[in-house]
Amino acid sequence: TTAPSTLPINGHFASIGDHDDPLVYEHGVQVIDEAKQFNPNLSKYLSLEHVSNAGFNYHLISVFGSQSTGKSTLLNHLFGTQFSVMSDQERRQTTKGIWLSKNKMQAQGGDNGSHMAENILVMDVEGTDGRERGEDQDFERKSALFALATSEVLIVNIWEHQVGLYQGANMGLLKTVLEVNLQLFLKDRSTTHRSLLFFVIRDFMGTTPLRNLQRTLLEDLSRIWTSLSKPPGLESSTIHDYFDFAFYGLPHKGYQPDQFVADVRTLGKRFREGKKDPRRDAVLGESLETGIFLPEYHRRIPADGFAHYAEGIWDQIVNNKDLDLPTQQELLAQFRCDEILREVLVAFDEVIIPFEEKQAEGIHSGEPLVLGGLGPAMRSARSKTIQSFETEASRYHKGVYRRKRAELEDKIDTRLKTLFQGQLNAAHRLGVKDFTEAVTAAVSIGQKKSSGYDFAEIVTSETKAAIEKFEKEAHAVLVEGAPWSNYKQELALYQKDLGEVSGQLRRDEMRRLATRVERWVRSRLSESVGFEFNALGSGRGGSGAPESGEKPSEGRIWDRIWKLFVDTVLDAERRFTDRASSLDAGVDEVDVGLWRLRRKSWGVLRARIEEEVMEGNLLLKLRENFEDKFRYDDAGVPRIWRPTDDIEGIYTRARESTLTLIPLLSRFRLAETSAPPPLERWIGHTPSSATPADEEDLPPIGGLDEDDGRGLDEEVRVLSDAKRQDLTVRFKKAADGVYVEAKRSAIGGITQ
């Protein structure tokens, strides 16, 4: 269906498929071919002619008339087109189907051009009453319908001698035009579009004034109109409800060639340079000053949708369907809005996809990435995309346009929202990470400073900095007008997470504090408990200062240990509480910490005591205790054994005295009550705020922790019965040894 294949003119033949070559369209484009096929390259042609982006700023003129009445010749002269014309030698039909070409004549008006009609498109419609198509009225009807549905102006080309010949072929054509026009309005009553029927009377002699010819033609038309059966509701309509009329006479091209050319030029000027908004009456008059394209003639199909619209219309016509222009316009709107939507998304993608890819990379690698330049890119991409869609698509059916615009906004907003949230997410994760590092660093610097540091202060200032940074990043990616452009929730979540992190850091810090205090307790107890046990070795009692004169009773060793233990822990508790307050710890947290400290301290004490009573250690202490009592007198002077001494008596007293220590040391009991220390009362209730994690690393205490199965008795037992027995036997053996030695030395002293 390519144009030149039927046109052996001027020697130009383009290869099939070479549709981008402007030369292919030298003679215009064959919109409908002789087989009634629509040419899919129409839209390409309009692009090549730079009409597609003209919006509504274009005009369409169709020419009608009998075969070989010089229609193509007229158009070529008027518009500089190159529609093929019959050669005077061959005289056979040349124009087949419907051809379209853009006006090639330049407007020559001297003014600024604002009055010039731009982008005039001309359709050359095959005349059908000639010899070659015989009685085929079908194509005539269809092409008339097609022309009326699309064109603003219909040039009716007619010989002067045919005017008034009511039976003439022309009248058949006019009847068809009026009929199909009514058909159009069946479905399209709301639009009030009009058309201009522009009669060009050919071989106009001038003997009958144009005015008379005009009257005759109008009378004929009215008669035809009256004879037509009108659809319901349109019975009383007149021909003037739908048509304006204009008339122009042209002299014989062959006989008055100069006059013909001059008059055609005048007519052409009127088409190309007429004023845009003349009064309709003026069109009916003879003033050549008036322009012919009235706004109400325009079919309001944007230029970029024209090809698709025309194809849809033709499809309906050729398949004998009732032509429903409003529906066609809606379908066109859907088609074009979809196309425009895809087009604007291409530009959108170009800007946005790189960001999406970078962000996906960040997520994939697990390293959140705050994308630079995202905010400006999103803002400009969104507004540009919507703006260009609006510019192109708003010319189409309003309802469809609004729906598609909402669809477009939804599409891009879904993606922008994902980017936005991805960015906030990255800012969130990086922010939390930075915050953690900053607080940790500040604490470790603080730990090295002698003045110490205020944890709560560090957290407060770092939190402030972290939130400021987050808000700055979030603010940078706000897009005004986008429904998702708000980060309130994300900010709240961020603040909550910072709170959790600082809570965790504070708990860690509390743990470290607890560990430090425990270590302090351990070293204090290690020293003081050791001192008490070492004192046993002297046989003259424990921790009391010797110069006080008062001999600390061995029997009260546990009382002393308990007291120093309680004092130590109290001291530690004070240290803990002081430091915890600078950590901004809550009352509950401090309670739990102190409770844990007491329980752990008790464990420390127990372990320390166990160390002291380890077999060898205790036996050594008992032996020292005994030897001290046996070898020294009450004044602390070493005895020199003489045979007269009551070695046996002293030995027995000393041994019995030391032996009393074994049951005493077996259990941690206070002398006053001869009961275990008030461990339960001293440790206190488990605070209700203690979590399982708080209790997890605490060894059970007999008598306090029911699930342990051990009673308080067992908790305070220092030596088992078996150990006690064994210790007793071994001690006695050792004491016996000391006694024998003393005895021997006493005798030896005499023999010497």
Residue 700: burial class (beta carbons within 10 Å; 0-12, 13-18, 19+): middle
Q: Write phi, then psi, for 532 (nearest 5 degrees).
A: -60, -45
Q: Does 85 bind ligand GDP (CB under 6 A)?
A: yes
Walk across the sheet containing 29-32 and list its strands.
Answer: 29-32, 98-102, 120-125, 59-65, 153-159, 195-202, 243-249
Q: Does residue 53 sit in helix, strand or coil?
A: helix
Which partner from the list ligand GDP, Mg ion, none does 69 bind, CB cut-off 5 to 8 Å by kind? ligand GDP
**Of 297, 188, 182, 298, which Cα lies nearest the Cα of 245?**
297
Q: Write phi, then psi, for 24 (nearest 5 degrees).
A: -55, -30
Which partner from the list Mg ion, ligand GDP, none does 606 bind, CB cut-off 5 to 8 Å by kind? none
Contacting ligand GDP within 241-270 (CB under 6 A) = 252-254
With CB under 6 A as the contact rule, the residue among 11, 17, 88, 545 that binds ligand GDP is: 88
- What one-character DSSP code corresponds to residue 660? T
Tell me, residue by residue from 121 to 160, as one string, x for binding to ligand GDP by CB under 6 A and - for no binding.
------x---------------------------------
Compute the distance between CA of residue 75 and CA of residue 96 in angstroms, rounded to an integer: 15
Q: Does 72 bind ligand GDP (CB under 6 A)?
A: yes
Q: Does 101 bind ligand GDP (CB under 6 A)?
A: no
Where do we find the tokens 């979030």?
Answer: 474
Q: Does 82 bind Mg ion (CB under 5 A)?
A: no
With CB under 6 A as the contact rule, the residue among 39, 41, 73, 119 that binds ligand GDP is: 73
Q: Does 86 bind ligand GDP (CB under 6 A)?
A: yes
Compute the distance between CA of residue 178 and CA of residue 231 in angstroms, rounded to an integer: 13
Q: How far is the CB of 122 from Mg ion (least distance, A)?
A: 12
**Of 373, 303, 306, 385, which Cα lies nearest the Cα of 344?**
385
Tell me whether residue 30 or residue 72 sits nearer to Mg ion (CB atom). 72
Q: Does residue 62 sit in helix, strand or coil?
A: strand
Q: How far is the CB of 126 from Mg ion (least distance, A)?
A: 7
Q: How far is the CB of 83 from Mg ion (least distance, A)?
A: 6
Q: Does 76 bind Mg ion (CB under 5 A)?
A: no
Compute the distance between CA of residue 474 and CA of residue 468 in angstroms, rounded to an integer: 10
Binding span for Mg ion by CB under 5 A among 90-98, 448-456, 666-674, 681-689: 90-98
Q: How far is the CB of 103 from Mg ion (least distance, A)?
A: 17
Q: How far is the CB of 81 from Mg ion (least distance, A)?
A: 11
Q: How far is the CB of 8 from ligand GDP (least distance, A)?
A: 15
With CB under 6 A as the contact rule, the residue among 2, 43, 67, 81 that binds ligand GDP is: 67
- 447 in Cβ contact with 583 (< 8 Å): no
Amino acid at 630: F
Q: How far is the CB of 74 from ligand GDP (least distance, A)?
A: 7
Tell me whether residue 264 or residue 650 sits nearer to ligand GDP (CB atom). 264
Binding span for ligand GDP by CB under 6 A among 20-28, 65-73, 420-428, 577-585: 65-73
With CB under 5 A as the contact rule, the residue among 52, 95, 385, 601 that binds Mg ion is: 95
Q: Does 157 bind Mg ion (CB under 5 A)?
A: no
Which partner from the list ligand GDP, Mg ion, none does 28 bind, CB cut-off 5 to 8 Å by kind? none
Q: What is the CA radius of gyration of the chain?
A: 57
Contacts of 628 (CB under 8 A, 6+ apart): 537, 538, 539, 540
Q: For ligand GDP, how many residues bind (rule: CB under 6 A)?
A: 18
Is residue 158 within a helix (H) or strand (E), and if so which, with residue range?
A: strand 153-159
Binding region for ligand GDP (CB under 6 A): 67-73, 85-86, 88, 94-95, 127, 202-203, 252-254
